[in-house]
Amino acid sequence: MDQTIICRCEEVTLHDIENTVNTYNCSAREVKLRTRAGMGHCGGRTCRPAVDAVLEAVTGEKAGHDIPMKVQPPVRPVSLSILGGQMK
């Protein structure tokens, strides 16, 4: 069982994605909905290429983009000091 984290925001592992693809024969969008990969704070900007690579490795096909996984930036930038509660 490979516990390599693919989506850090939602803590989705390589095993979770492979298991979901093999069990449900999923598209990239279905994998996102079933595992929450790409639904965290970064909105898939970090893990989307890795999810697509895993899908291609498991299924042998390139990830389809008929219904794209939406990637969107935060509404406005927030400094890490504000998130950490250390206001300047």
pLDDT digits (tens, 9 = 90+) for 11-51: 999 999 999 988 998 777 788 889 998 888 887 888 888 88
Which pTM value belongs to this model? Answer: 0.65
pLDDT of res. 34: 92
**How many domains does the chain divide into?**
1
The answer to the question of residue 51 being in a domain is yes
Residue 32 lies in domain: 5-83
In this structure, the number of other CB atoms found within 10 A of the CB of residue 29 comes to: 17
29 and 69 in contact (C-beta within 8 Å)? yes
The answer to the question of residue 88 being in a domain is no
Which CATH number do you get for residue 46?
A: 1.10.10.1100
- Residue tagged 């516990």 (tokens): 3
The answer to the question of residue 26 being in a domain is yes
The answer to the question of residue 12 being in a domain is yes
The answer to the question of residue 19 being in a domain is yes
Distances (CA, A) of 3 to 6, 15, 16, 84: 9, 6, 8, 28
Interval 79-85 mean pLDDT: 78
